[in-house]
Amino acid sequence: MINMVNQPLLINGIEIDNRVVFQPMEGCDGNSDGSIGELTHRRYMRFAESGAGIIWFEAVAVTPEGRANPRQLYISDVTKESFSNLISEMKARAIELYGKAPIIIAQLTHSGRYARPIDVPAPIVAYRNSIWEAGREGQNYTIATDEYLDTISSKYAVASTLACEVGFDGVDVKCCHGYLFNEFLSAYNREGNYGGSFENRTRLYFDAVSAVKANMPEGKILTTRLNISDCFPYGYGWGVNKDGSVNLDETKLIMDKLADQGVEMINFSIGNPYVIPHINRPHNGITPESPATALNRIYNATAELQAYRPSMKIVSSALTYLGEKCMEYAGEMLDKRVCQLVGFGRMTFAYPSFYQDFKNNGFLDKKKCCICCSKCTELMRAGSVSGCPIRDKDTYLPLYMSKVMKK
């Protein structure tokens, strides 16, 4: 199984050195203008030393009002030099250690209802959703007009051009976790050009995909992180039956259209971490369902979608929960063709050298693994930078004590 993890893979003619993907995990540690911050630099240089085949950069906003927090990364003419410097350093360090640089993907986003930028009082939403807004009933929201939405694809085009200029090897048009594009997939009752029919609900997403493709130079990878399903009741979420179970019919239609656009790799996720985090980030707290149920749901859906499009390079998710056994499980998924790449999120915060340890020793050090305590998320929700207070305690435990415990 370890040989399958280490096996190279071609994506759009570019060779990936192995099947390990560092998933996009927001550190909320950029500077106020969206440039790379000190902790951002530290984190990604640790990732560069990991040996992972793909480093999937965290969400990078394409417009100021789409930033999820005042420290979210934002690519622009002002900030592009900071991105360029970091990516150059990352690739140089990986080449120094391993003779080859990882593939680095830019995840472009508009955070929609979860945007919390400076001086923008009302986040932009596709429609009002009582389930997604539970606990936030007092929050003001602005329902996006069709005229505003008509401008979004051009912003993705500009951002993707900058991303390629600064050295990213590919661009992800993000469509998951309740952010703007994902929310529009469930805009069944919205009127106008962006709601109702499948064509209208996917219009915003595919307009951005097309705009990014048109502005990407040859030799770059066009990809997406896409929700398999929102796992909410029908009418409040995408990819579900009326009883709330997963329905992959429209997901497969999207895969077909992405294939027509030349997309060879899809990074699948599931659920909405703001409302039901146990769905895509199984953890060791009290949850409405067992972690095994969540893992099986993702496993089965990913397997069905990989079988539907065998030539697509599908990235799995939610592997961190298995701790020191996660690499064996990942190898089994690859061996059984459940997916073609294996993605790790929280583990990268806690144990960025896990892949090299497994490659060199055949096992992971349990004392370094993520324990799925969700403290990294607690930091983020408290308005702080995010990291692992347990395994990277010198840097993040003082922040956890001051930002979370004192509250």
The pLDDT profile of the chain, 407 residues, written as one tens digit per residue, is 557 999 999 999 999 999 999 999 999 999 999 999 999 999 999 999 999 999 999 999 999 999 999 999 999 999 999 999 999 999 999 999 999 999 999 999 999 999 987 776 789 999 999 989 988 888 889 999 999 999 999 999 999 999 999 999 999 999 999 999 999 999 999 999 999 999 999 999 999 999 999 999 999 999 999 999 999 988 889 999 988 899 999 999 999 999 999 999 999 999 999 999 999 999 888 888 999 999 999 999 999 999 999 999 999 999 999 999 999 999 999 999 999 999 999 999 999 999 999 999 999 999 999 999 999 999 999 999 999 999 999 999 999 999 999 76
Q: Which pair of structure tokens corresponds to residue 393?
A: 């305690």
CATH 3.20.20.70, the chain: domain bounds = 2-364
Residue 14 CB: number of other CB atoms within 10 A? 14
For 291-303, give the DSSP string: HHHHHHHHHHHHH
Predicted local distance difference test score (pLDDT) of residue 356: 97
Q: What type of residue is 104? A: I
Which residues contact residue 361 at a Cβ distance below 8 angstroms, ignoring those fewer than 6 apart? none
CA–CA separation, 359 and 63 (whole Å): 40
In this structure, are residues 75 and 83 in contact, taking their beta carbons and an 8 Å threshold?
yes
Predicted local distance difference test score (pLDDT) of residue 407: 65
Query: 24: closest CA among 317, 372, 383?
Result: 317
Q: Is the pTM of this model over 0.85?
A: yes
CA–CA separation, 23 and 225 (whole Å): 10
CA dihedral defined by 152, 156, 157, 158, rounded to 10 degrees?
100
In this structure, are residues 231 and 183 in contact, taking their beta carbons and an 8 Å threshold?
no
Please name the residue that has the structure tokens 């892949």: 355
For residue 265, what are the β-bridge partners?
Answer: 223, 313
Half-sphere exposure of 191 (CA within 13 A, CB side): 0
Q: What type of residue is 289? A: E
Q: Which pair of structure tokens corresponds to residue 269?
A: 């996720």
CA–CA separation, 97 and 48 (whole Å): 9
Using only the alpha carbons of the chain, give its radius of gyration: 20
Query: 201: closest CA among 209, 192, 211?
Result: 192
3-state DSSP assignment of residue 405: helix
Fold of 2-364: TIM Barrel (3.20.20)
Q: In terms of C-beta distances under 8 Å and separation of at least 24 residues, what long-range contacts does 131-136 make, across chains too?
A: 131/232, 131/233, 131/236, 131/237, 131/275, 132/178, 132/183, 132/232, 132/236, 132/272, 132/274, 132/275, 134/275
In this structure, are residues 71 and 31 in contact, taking their beta carbons and an 8 Å threshold?
yes
CA–CA separation, 3 and 10 (whole Å): 16
Predicted local distance difference test score (pLDDT) of residue 71: 96
Predicted local distance difference test score (pLDDT) of residue 2: 55
CA–CA separation, 207 and 162 (whole Å): 18
CA–CA separation, 389 and 391 (whole Å): 6
Predicted local distance difference test score (pLDDT) of residue 338: 98
